[in-house]
Amino acid sequence: MDLTLLLQLTLNGLIVGALYGVVAMSFVLIYKASQVVNFAQGEFLLVGAWVCWWFLTEWQLPFYAGFLFTLVFMTLFGLVLQVVVLRPLIGEPVISVIMATIGLGIFFQALMKWIFGVFAKPFPPIFTVERISVLGLEVQTVYLVSLGISLLIMAGFGWFFTASKHGLAMRATAFDQQVAQSLGVSVPKVFAMSWAISAVVSSVAGVVVGVVNGVSSALSFYGIKVFPAVILGGLDSIIGAVLGGVIVGLLENWAHYIDSEWLNWGNMFQIAPFYALVIILLIKPYGLFGTKNIERV
Amino acid sequence: MADEDPILSAEGVSLRFGGVKALTDVSFSVRKGEVFSIIGPNGAGKTSMVNCVSGRYRPTEGRILFDGQDITKLGPNRRAGLGIGRTFQNLALFGHMSVLDNIMVGRHHLLKAGFLRGMMYWWGGAQREELAHRAEVEEIIDFLEIQHVRKAQAGTLPYGLRKRVELARAVALKPKLILLDEPMAGMNLEEKEDMARFILDLNQEWGMTVLMIEHDMGVVMDISHRVMVLDFGRKIAEGLPEEVMAHPQVRRAYLGVDDEAVNPAEIDA
């Protein structure tokens, strides 16, 4: 037993899990507000990371400026996507909307390859200190910063949904669009806002992962990783998304530990979350925190 | 009490769903400050009429004017912003939210602090704004006697209370005109009396014009200033409650007749 490795992997799991949680939250945000299962969530990370990379390398902007511009760009990106592609689909069958998001995913995947090429490209170095040791464990600075950002985003989401006018409107819309409208809530605005926020938040995760691993189309794989996290937590629960993300992150890394210590099968870390998903869904079909539909008769 | 200028008028409103005529050429106006009731047998088009006013349906023909402005083409959220609040026939509370949050959604268009100012809660007046709103919301809560449940989840409340919370949410909008779709359906006598009292207070003390659909004739006759009767999507009578009740077409619509079916086209209201 290698205890340091286990601790190191646990820490990695928590940090990566927090990132999954962030992406899962932005996925849930769209689902909650507009009942759309967004299969292009991973491509939001991809587009965000590439755009940031472009600002930093082609324009030679300092990181904070490039990052800020990326956020602005992604806000517009999310808005335009909703208005141009998804708004006309309001009222169409769910399956049409899902197909449209799958199409969007493929489109942006290909577009990014066309513009930026198929090879992974590294970000210019951002932090002067690459790694810091925390309690004897080596952690990449980027990851520590990302953990901070993740927590900040989570707190922001919590505040947004419980205390802000728009968050309340969003919850109302999720519950019943007709009623929300009768109370003066503009449903198209709520939809557009949810896509914009979702795109921005996902792109933050995209940039962080891009800084660590380089930017390539592999980033969009996060969109698939998010599914076990989201379904685990319950499709319509923000807290569930966060916990689901952390659980998936931990499971991956623990599976990796077990694999490397004893099994030597090679790719346990990729499939372990999905096994856990199946088991949890057998016991709790609505996920850990999902809302059951209970009707009074 | 009710002065003469109309706050709401419908002019020749027709509504069709494919071949089904839900409303045919209905015109009426509601005067500022009155309690106006729409009655009629099941399927007469009462709720369709209210939905045309609230913006959920767009009339196939005709116009709807609110406060002198043509609102026929406005979406429901814009109409709410202008001051038309409503409750629903089948309860439509946000079941997983607290009573307080339900009511706060009703304040949506009145809350000014947007995203950025909200983030800077303690600066820029967002906190002051929230306090002012909370004070008003508390006033509404006190008025409708739901203090004891305001932290409760709306979906867990008994029926009568949920009806009141729904009314509170519509009142929170500060509407000039409030549309009540069967506010007393399914209530017992005591609850009905409470609700009638709330409606009268809203009208007299809060100065809201009330447009109400109700089946309970006793209540309608007691609290309405004027009544309109719909049957098969057409207006067959309008006037003071006593007049309307005495109207032969109304009696026929409600009680039926022995001889051939009545052709509504022959009726001159």
- Asked if residue A15 is part of any domain, the answer here is yes
Of the residues A159, A168, A183, the best mutation for testing chain B's interface (the one with the most B CB atoms within 10 Å of its CB) is A183
Nearest to A77 by CA among A31, A45, A37, A113: A45
Q: Does B165 touch chain A (CB under 8 A)?
A: no
What is the rounded distance in angstroms from the CA atom of residue B88 to the CA atom of residue A23? 37
What is the rounded distance in angstroms from the CA atom of residue A175 to the CA atom of residue A190? 13
Nearest C-alpha in A relative to B129: A165
How many domains is chain B partitioned into structurally? 1
- Residue B85 has phi, psi (to 5 degrees) of -105, 160
Which residue among B80, B81, B101 places its CB closest to the CB of A168? B101
- Asked if residue B154 is part of any domain, the answer here is no
Q: Does B54 touch chain A (CB under 8 A)?
A: yes
- Asked if residue A263 is part of any domain, the answer here is no
Bigger pLDDT: B84 vs A166: B84
Q: What is the pLDDT along chain A (297 residues), one digit of tens a residue?
A: 678 888 888 888 898 899 999 999 999 888 888 888 889 999 999 999 999 999 998 888 888 899 999 999 999 999 999 999 988 887 788 889 999 999 999 999 999 999 998 888 888 887 777 777 777 777 888 888 888 888 998 888 888 887 778 888 888 888 888 888 888 888 888 999 999 999 999 999 999 888 888 888 888 888 888 888 888 887 878 888 899 899 889 988 888 888 887 877 777 777 887 888 888 888 887 777 776 665 555
Supply the pLDDT for residue A178: 86
Strands B69-70 and B226-231: unpaired
Task: List beta partners, residue B230.
Answer: B235
CA dihedral B244, B249, B250, B254 (to 10 degrees): 170
Of the residues B56, B103, B105, the best mutation for testing chain A's interface (the one with the most A CB atoms within 10 Å of its CB) is B105
- Asked if residue B142 is part of any domain, the answer here is no
Q: Give B11 to chain A, closest Cα distance, Å.
A: 22
Of the residues B47, B94, B122, the best mutation for testing chain A's interface (the one with the most A CB atoms within 10 Å of its CB) is B94
Q: Residue A8 is encoded by which pair of tokens?
A: 């190191």
Which residue among A164, A165, A186 places its CB closest to the CB of B77? A186
- Asked if residue A249 is part of any domain, the answer here is no
- Asked if residue B188 is part of any domain, the answer here is no
Q: Does A90 touch chain B (CB under 8 A)?
A: no
- Asked if residue A281 is part of any domain, the answer here is no
What is the rounded distance in angstroms from the CA atom of residue B235 to the CA atom of residue A183? 29
Q: Residue A141 is encoded by which pair of tokens?
A: 């600075």
- Residue A62 has phi, psi (to 5 degrees) of -65, 155
- Asked if residue B201 is part of any domain, the answer here is no
- Asked if residue A232 is part of any domain, the answer here is no
- Asked if residue A109 is part of any domain, the answer here is yes
Is residue B1 pLDDT above 50, yes or no? no
Q: Residue B80 is encoded by which pair of tokens?
A: 């709410």
CA dihedral A223, A227, A228, A229 (to 10 degrees): 80
Q: Does B62 touch chain A (CB under 8 A)?
A: no
Q: What domain range includes position A133? A: 3-217
Q: Does A292 touch chain B (CB under 8 A)?
A: no
Residues 128-187 of A with CB under 8 A from B: 163-166, 168-169, 171-172, 175-176, 178-187
Supply the pLDDT for residue B269: 46
CB A191 within 8 A of CB A86: yes
Amino acid making up residue B153: Q
- Asked if residue B174 is part of any domain, the answer here is no
- E strands present in chain A: 131-134, 137-140
Q: Give A66 to chain B, closest Cα distance, Å.
A: 21
Amino acid making up residue B70: D
Q: Residue B256 is encoded by which pair of tokens?
A: 């039926």
Cα–Cα distance list, B196 to A241, B166, B179, B183, B208 (Å): 46, 15, 14, 9, 14
Q: Residue B269 is encoded by which pair of tokens?
A: 């209201």
Whether A185 and B105 lie within 8 Å, measured CB to CB = yes
Query: For residue range B185-238, what is the model confidence (pLDDT) as tens digits?
Result: 888 899 999 999 999 999 999 999 999 999 888 888 889 999 999 998 999 989
What is the rounded distance in angstroms from the CA atom of residue B150 to the CA atom of residue B143? 13
For residue B268, the domain's CATH number is: 3.40.50.300
How many domains is chain A partitioned into structurally? 1
Whether A178 and B92 lie within 8 Å, measured CB to CB = yes
Residues of B in contact with A32 (CB under 8 A): none
Helix (H) or strand (E) holding A68: helix A63-81
- Asked if residue A243 is part of any domain, the answer here is no
What is the rounded distance in angstroms from the CA atom of residue A206 to the CA atom of residue A253? 20
Helices (H), chain B: 46-54, 76-82, 99-106, 115-119, 126-143, 159-172, 189-204, 217-223, 241-246, 248-255
Helix, strand, coil share of chain A (percent; to 5): 75, 5, 20
Q: What domain range includes position B54? A: 1-78+211-269
Nearest C-alpha in B relative to A170: B105
Query: What is the residue-averaged pLDDT of chain B?
Result: 85
- Asked if residue A131 is part of any domain, the answer here is yes
Tell whether ipTM is more than 0.90. no
